[in-house]
């Protein structure tokens, strides 16, 4: 039986999971890949810490060049994360004639074109199923089974950390800071969760989904993005009153000619399956012009689900399916016809607005005047009598407005003007409403 | 650019959908398959009826041999359904050197070994994504992305007709016969819906799923199967009271050493995503030992969703991915190690029992005695006071019993004994309970 030698760069949580599958599932691999898959080298700057898994010491190395120069190794799995030295290592491995597998969404989102051009130039492949939604096989599906379709839209919950935090706030009434702490305690959030909660991670994943669904090479920084930091426990109460839950959604909508891309906390109807995605789960709904809606739900992060996707990629790579797909799709190829992106000002949708206003005559009149001037029509308005004690006159109260569909540019201008009304205090919190 | 010539056998609902995609999505196909895909021949016994689609008359034929003998045709899509002449035609095409794509689950379930052995002998492939769950890419996913996993279980709603009927009964209180008529009116059920409602279609699909998940070649007739004919509107009321909905589930459970396969109407907890699959939708939950639970939901039937799966298969076939997968997996190969099936008597699970009993002292005592004798423990019992007028003495009433887990063999014996108690009228309706 043929043997394939594989190297692993980065022995963190995911790397340990991959090593575990390669060592403990060898019968599964033989039957899936038709050959013996051998873990020939593991490269990490720290090869002494005990990871709770027994690894042959002779395959451990701190020397990246010993991986690149080992001619017997044909596949390298990059799991160090971040941009550098991951980028340098991946380029080095491709140039050394190795196929690469990575779970690194930041790397692919930032350097996709360079990496895939290099891979094409070297006649090698990069597989990256684990970069989006961990164990959910959404990338493979977009690249194969759904290829007969023109994708009409993608609505996705791609960040488990944010979904866990929002679920805690939704289900237990936890406030934002406590929910973040709980996520950190359980290992769902890092010590500095900025890249998750500010939506960076989600736009990077949306960039990858957009490449696969529309062949668009998008600068992830150009995608309009709102994080979950401004979502307050009180928003869940109002959203519930209106019939919604709140989810951080990554959206690619091609239902008009141009494609609308954004990431933002979004009110999702209670009857929509996306609203029922709880804890650290991820989900994706793809609507294709032929297949209609297809909904995927599963674990988007964690050691073994992510390792499952990586080893799936390994089997694809070893069997040569990855090379066929790469040849057909020409991902991140600058010569490809580009889909046109919609000007963010022309996005068109419903909004939820929360603002703190003085409880006095004329306030609603002023606010509705600003909305009317910008052609924004009010669908619902909620203002509850406050139970707080009076201090100097009446305390300010929350005013919640749900609007009918409006132009994004108009909405942003209206918010700006509303924030300048003297009886409106602080920022107007705005979320999208999916309907 | 290279050209691939394709023939279609069977121009019914699905065939027309496939023709539509091939003719109207040629740009999508070129970009996905890297070559021009040409619909070279359509073979049907009726080539005169207007199908609402404009087809070049020169490609229409009633002569199957003209397809087999056309050397320019490399892929044939079989969409006539049923066993014969579909089997003969598929074998003929493989022997004529053509790759085959089919949506025919009955054919694959019944003749899988013969067909795949023939394909291997001829160096050709059979693709069949559309045979299970229409547009949901579950087969491709099992054959590729999830290959790193040992599959622990599959729970699936694979028959849209039954799901539509059960949803009507659940949501609108429709009785069984009216729900069947409504399904027929909307085109979800055939004039004779026997193969759907008696569970045949579901076990055939379960056979295919079992082959992909466990490498098991199963005679579909040997899978224990209960249809939905005995489910009554009243069962939904009692199920709701107990916190469940009723779904026809196809189950493959490998959580113990041997694999448990069955199809039956099943009480599914309201919080389980499977319980929320409504109308004619299909859904599959796969639990893998690495990936955990992955849930897929989409349209399992209908012209365009099914055509989407077939054209996806066409792209896979043309690109050569299907051949790679076939080579690696050796589906329906008699030389493969077989997974062991569990003796149906050893299935172990919860049950829901509904029986019509005399409203008189001692009845519950007798029934609980039978259950106790067979080591079956009662979890809940419901008997509502009847509002029906008294006739000769008290009218019989429904007695509902939900049990804790028990051995299937014990349950079947207990049911048999209960049906012989003189105060129990007619059959005991039994459903599984998923927990």
Q: From the CA of B93, how many Å to the nearest CA of chain A?
A: 24
Between strands B73-78 and B3-9, the pairing is parallel
On the question of pLDDT at B372 being above 80, the answer is: yes
Q: Give the per-residue pLDDT at A36.
A: 93
**In 10 A of CB A407, how many CB atoms?**
16
B:93-152 residues touching chain A, CB 8 A cutoff = 129, 135-137, 140-141, 144-150
The tens digit of pLDDT for each residue in B130-182 reads 999 999 999 999 999 999 999 999 999 999 999 999 999 999 999 999 999 99
Q: Give the per-residue pLDDT at A391.
A: 58
* Half-sphere exposure at residue A279, Cβ-oriented, CA atoms within 13 angstroms: 9
Hey, is the C-beta of B25 within 8 angstroms of any chain A C-beta? Answer: yes
Q: Tell me which residue has tokens 């139970």.
A: A387
Q: Which residues have a Cβ under 8 Å from the Cβ of B317 and sit 6 or more positions away?
A: B75, B99, B101, B125, B127, B323
> Regarding the domain delimited by B344-434, which CATH topology (the fold level of the hierarchy) does it fall under?
Alpha-Beta Plaits (3.30.70)
Q: Tell me which residue has tokens 């109207």.
A: B24
Hey, is the C-beta of B273 within 8 angstroms of any chain A C-beta? Answer: yes
Hey, is the C-beta of B28 within 8 angstroms of any chain A C-beta? Answer: yes
Instruction: Please report how the helices B321-329 and A303-319 are oriented relative to each other, as an axis angle in degrees rounded to 10.
Output: 110
Active site (annotated) includes residue B205: yes
Of A298, A301, A101, which Cα lies nearest the Cα of A201?
A301
Average pLDDT of the residues of chain B: 94
Q: Give the per-residue pLDDT at B159.
A: 97
Do A147 and B312 lie within an 8 Å CB cutoff? yes
**Closest-CA residue in chain B for A140?**
B145
Q: What's the predicted TM-score (pTM) here?
A: 0.95
> Regarding the domain delimited by A3-134+305-329, which CATH topology (the fold level of the hierarchy) does it fall under?
Rossmann fold (3.40.50)
On the question of pLDDT at B387 being above 80, the answer is: no
User: If you write DSSP's letter for every residue of B45-62 in order, what string do you get?
Assistant: S---S--SS---GGGEES
Do A291 and B309 lie within an 8 Å CB cutoff? yes
Looking at the partner chain, which of B135, B315, B328 has a beta carbon nearest the beta carbon of A147?
B315
A:141-200 residues touching chain B, CB 8 A cutoff = 141, 144-150
Q: How far is CA B193 from the centre of its chain?
A: 14
Q: What architecture is domain B147-299?
A: 2-Layer Sandwich (3.30)
User: If you write DSSP's letter for every residue of B133-193 in order, what string do you get?
Assistant: TTTS-HHHHHHTTTTTSPEEEEEEE--HHHHHHHHHHHHH---HHHHHHHHHHTTSS-SS-
Contacts of B306 in chain A (CB under 8 A): none
Q: Give the per-residue pLDDT at A384.
A: 82
Q: Give the per-residue pLDDT at B314.
A: 98
Contacts of B338 in chain A (CB under 8 A): none
Percentage, residues of chain B above pLDDT 70:
97
Q: Give the per-residue pLDDT at B337.
A: 65
**Closest-CA residue in chain A for B23?**
A148
SS3 A186: coil
Show the beta-strand stretches assigned E in A52-196: 60-61, 73-78, 99-102, 126-127, 151-157
The tens digit of pLDDT for each residue in B228-251 reads 999 999 999 999 999 999 999 999
Q: From the CA of B327, how many Å to the nearest CA of chain A?
A: 8
Q: Give the per-residue pLDDT at A387.
A: 64
Most confident of B29-38, B254-263, B308-317: B308-317
Q: From the CA of A27, how many Å to the nearest CA of chain B?
A: 10
Where does the pLDDT of residue B388 fall: very low under 50, low under 70, confident under 90, or very high at 90 and above? low
Do A144 and B315 lie within an 8 Å CB cutoff? yes
Contacts of B296 in chain A (CB under 8 A): 294-297
Rounded CA-CA distance A317/B279 in Å is: 39
The one catalytic residue among B20, B98, B105, B205: B205
Mutation for testing the B interface, residue in A144, A150, A157, A215 having most B CBs under 10 Å: A144
Higher pLDDT: B80 or A361? It is B80
Q: Give the per-residue pLDDT at B339.
A: 77
Q: Give the per-residue pLDDT at A308.
A: 97
Query: Are B139 and B132 in contact, with CB atoms under 8 Å apart?
Result: yes
**Closest-CA residue in chain A for B17?**
A290
Element spanning A266, H or E: strand A260-269
Low-confidence ranges of chain A (pLDDT < 50): none
**Closest-CA residue in chain A for B146?**
A312
What residue spans define the domains of chain B? 3-134+305-329, 147-299, 344-434
CATH class of A138-300: alpha beta
Q: Give the per-residue pLDDT at B360.
A: 86
Q: From the CA of B254, how many Å to the nearest CA of chain A?
A: 15
Measure the N-to-C terminal CA separation of chain B; round to a whole number of Å: 55
């Amino acid at each position: 039986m043929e043997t394939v030698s594989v190297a692993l760069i980065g022995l963190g949580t995911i790397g340990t999971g991959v090593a575990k599958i390669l060592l403990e599932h060898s019968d599964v691999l033989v039957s899936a890949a038709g050959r013996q898959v051998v873990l020939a080298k593991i490269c990490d700057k720290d090869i002494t810490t005990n990871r709770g898994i027994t690894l042959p010491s002779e395959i451990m190395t701190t020397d990246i060049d010993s991986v690149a120069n080992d001619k017997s190794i044909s596949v390298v799995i990059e799991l160090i994360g971040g941009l550098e030295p991951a980028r340098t290592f991946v380029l080095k491995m491709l140039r050394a004639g190795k196929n690469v597998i990575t779970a690194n969404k930041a790397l692919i989102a930032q350097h996709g074109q360079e990496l895939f051009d290099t891979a094409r130039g070297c006649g090698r492949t990069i597989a990256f199923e684990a970069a989006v939604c961990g164990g959910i096989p959404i990338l493979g599906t977009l690249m194969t089974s759904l290829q007969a379709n023109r994708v009409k839209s993608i609505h996705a919950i791609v960040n488990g950390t944010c979904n866990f935090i929002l679920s805690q706030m939704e289900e237990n009434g936890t406030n934002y800071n406590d929910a973040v702490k709980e996520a950190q305690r359980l290992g769902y959030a890092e010590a500095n969760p900025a890249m998750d909660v500010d939506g960076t991670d989600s736009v990077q994943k949306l960039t990858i989904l957009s490449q696969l669904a529309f062949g668009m090479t998008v600068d992830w920084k150009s995608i309009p993005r709102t994080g979950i930091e401004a979502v307050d426990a009180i928003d869940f109460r109002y959203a519930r009153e209106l019939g919604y839950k709140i989810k951080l959604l990554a959206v690619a909508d091609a239902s008009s000619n141009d494609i609308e891309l954004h990431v933002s906390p979004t009110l999702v109807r209670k009857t929509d399956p996306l609203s029922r995605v709880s804890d650290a789960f991820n989900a994706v709904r793809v609507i294709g012009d032929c297949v209609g809606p297809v909904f995927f739900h599963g674990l988007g992060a964690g050691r073994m689900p992510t390792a499952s996707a990586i080893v799936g990629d390994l089997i694809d790579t070893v069997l040569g399916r990855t090379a066929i797909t790469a040849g057909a799709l020409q991902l991140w190829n600058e010569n490809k016809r580009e889909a046109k992106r919609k000007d963010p000002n022309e996005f068109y949708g419903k909004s939820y607005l929360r603002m703190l206003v003085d409880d006095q005559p004329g306030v609603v009149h002023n606010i509705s005047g600003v909305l009317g001037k910008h052609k924004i029509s009010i669908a619902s308005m909620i203002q509850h009598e406050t139970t707080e004690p009076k201090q100097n006159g009446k305390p300010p109260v929350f005013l919640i407005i749900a609007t009918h569909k409006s132009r994004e540019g108009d909405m942003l201008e209206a918010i700006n003007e509303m924030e300048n009304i003297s009886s409106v205090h602080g920022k107007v919190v705005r979320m999208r409403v999916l309907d």
